[in-house]
Structure 1
Amino acid sequence: MQAQGWRRVAPCVALMLASCASAWAQRLGAEPTHDAGQGVTPAFEGWFKNPDGTFSIMLGYFNRNTKEVVDIPIGPNNHIDPGGPDRGQPTHFLANRGWGPFVVIVPADFGDKEITWTLTANAQTNKIPAGLNPLWEIAPMIDAISNTPPYLSFQSFEENGPSIQGPRPVVTTRTATVGVPLPITVWVADDNVYSPGRLPPRTPITVTWTMLRGPADVVFSNAKPAVEKTEGKLPAGTKVAGKATTSVTFVEPGQYTLYVVINDASGVGGGGGFQCCWTNGHVKVDVKPASAGSK
């Protein structure tokens, strides 16, 4: 029933967002591009209701630099209020657009209140308010052709480990040591629904790794590892499944959050900014210094 309700909302919301996106794109198109030196603008992607009655406010960003990666630690230059400054937002901003890498959970009685995300970078401050305005309700779990987001798990589907669909991320934890590669495997599955008239996608599921938060850069052995097809138990409603493995190496100790996004054939950002169909995962890593004997 929930999916049907979201499906009714989707066409009008998609039209509204498409109009907004078009206007925004036209405005941005008139602005000169810069390799570096520009600010980072928070983006309110929309909100959706969770099964437990709470709400997810989905946020992203636009780094207005074409090359400069911007790091903004949590604090006076990167805060979400009220309830902050830390509400799980990124501190590491890749160039250009970051589509909905995280959500802020608000209670069932949130009503007409708002949260505000403020970012200051390169002496430029930008902020965005976000709330539960009905015009910004989105349908991240199903689109106009009944496509749904891929499933993501950090355990084999045969093991019945926790899995998730959609932008509210599944979270797992790991420990690592500076200089020692940490292997990470994800299991993914999808309904393999694609637009009528298109050929079946050669790659129905893609996996992309980046860093969301951390005190220093990390190095992935492969940030876009190939998905190896698997057989066996599948989540309900899915037709294709596989696993993808990469490793990540840390050069400094500290607390990190890695971000994995699972896309289906609709593409990054749901294929043009519509809020379906992708799935987020966060890996929180506690990185210890290298021991004296390992140096």
Structure 2
Amino acid sequence: MQGMIMKVLDQRALRVGVVGVIATVLAVGVASSSWAQVNRRDIPIATQPQQRFNSGQDIQPIFEGWTRNEDGSYQFLFGYLNRNYAERPEVPVGESNFFSPGDPDRGQPTYFYPRTNRYQFEVTVPSDFPTDGELIWEVTRQGSTQRAYGWLQAEWEIDVNTITSNGRTQFGRGVDELYVNVAPLVTVESSHQSVGVGEPVTLTTRMTDDELPTPVPERDDDARPRRRRDPTLVPPDDAPDIPDNIPQYSKPYPKRNHMSVLWAVYRGPADAEFEPAGYQGWEDGMPGDGWTAGTFETTVSFDEPGVYTLRAFASDAMLTSRANVIITVTE
């Protein structure tokens, strides 16, 4: 008991010591405010919030879980965490982006958007996949190798409710509706398979679906309170340009009602410019009724040559289907 008390006292003393250092730094800053500002580098690392970086960080592959197929096989679902808040690196399939054992190319992305991107692709494994077996996705960047281990551990079995809950695409609808809803069927085509840099390409997305989900009330996103993101510490004017207080990447989400489609670079050497950007929602006057059928047109252009795999994320306002087109861009 005496040892426990001393441990608690030591922890309290440590906290008091850290607070004392902060108070001293702040006091000095206030006393000499005419010639200096409080600098984050003057405050102990232990008291700083998690640092954010625009670029230079690695990529963490993520095993999301597994589902069962009707034929007895399994789907392993994967996503990733790009630890950068701005940089979108390309890591081609090869020694720095591969699966093992077996085929190193399992349809994984090679172009990585900032931060967490869940349920990006699936890998089918046979019904006789060993219960103690592993399918490993390995990505190396900036000298850092990270891995995701796919396996049939019972606790990792997931279903559509897990996926939509984590993806925040139920929009308040009940699970009874979720379990009978069918993901939309989607086909895509491009007006050109080969173009020059800067030349526009028209992407056409056609969707068909059942009559689910049912509509939910619209929400005025502009009326929602937003978290303040202003820096709490202001660096001096002559401070070096370091990644600090970087706003979080704004991830696009499907529309709450009607069909919508998002185009993104899935594989390729650089980003592409999509118009419209983000999720394009069905509107009156567009082909179809927006619930059981819809057609969308998106324009894309490229600033750098290369071979691009573009992916359409087609949503029925609850479930999402995916389809790809490949475009070669020349100088």
TM-score scaled by structure 1? 0.67
Query: Alignment partner for residue 262 of structure 1, among 314, 323, 328?
Result: 314
Deviations 1:151-177 (A, max 9, x none): 03117xxxxxxxxxxxxxxx9997222
Query: Alignment partner for residue 121 of structure 1, among 131, 136, 141?
Result: 141
State the partner residue of 2:76: 57
CA distance in 1, matches of 2:122, 2:193: 24
CA distance in 1, matches of 2:297, 2:282: 8
Deviations 1:36-91 (A, max 9, x none): 22211111111112233322111000111111112111112111111232111111
TM-score scaled by structure 2? 0.60
State the partner residue of 1:146: 177
CA distance in 2, matches of 1:187, 1:67: 31
Structure 1: gaps spanning 5 or more residues: 1-28, 156-170, 266-276, 291-295
Percent identity at matched positions?
Answer: 31
Moved over 4 A (4+): 171-174
CA distance in 2, matches of 1:114, 1:49: 16
Distance 1:133 1:30, change over 3 A: farther
Distance 1:219 1:240, change over 3 A: same
CA distance in 2, matches of 1:87, 1:286: 20
State the partner residue of 1:71: 90
Distance 1:71 1:154, change over 3 A: same
Q: How does 1:116-195 map to 2 (within 5 A)?
A: 116-140=136-160, 144-147=175-178, 148=181, 150-154=183-187, 175-179=193-197, 180-188=199-207, 189=209, 191-193=212-214
Which secondary structure state, in structure 2, belongs to the residue aligned with residue 285 of structure 1? Answer: strand
State the partner residue of 2:99: 80
Query: In terms of mean alpha carbon deviation, does 115-124 or 256-265 score higher?
Result: 256-265
Which secondary structure state, in structure 1, belongs to the residue aligned with residue 328 of structure 2? Answer: strand
How far does residue 96 in structure 1 lie from its aligned partner after superposition? 0.9
State the partner residue of 1:110: 129
CA distance in 2, matches of 1:139, 1:245: 32
CA distance in 2, matches of 1:146, 1:50: 21
Distance 1:288 1:207, change over 3 A: closer
How far does residue 136 in structure 1 lie from its aligned partner after superposition? 1.3
Which secondary structure state, in structure 2, belongs to the residue aligned with residue 111 of structure 1? Answer: coil
Q: How does 1:193-212 map to 2 (within 5 A)?
A: 193=214, 199=217, 203-212=257-266
Q: Contact conserved, 2:60 with 2:81, CA < 8 A, in 1?
A: yes
Q: Contact conserved, 1:173 with 1:284, CA < 8 A, in 2?
A: no
Q: Contact conserved, 1:218 with 1:249, CA < 8 A, in 2?
A: yes
Structure 2: gaps spanning 5 or more residues: 1-47, 165-173, 220-255
Q: How many residues align?
A: 228
Specify the structure having the higher radius of gyration (Cα).
2
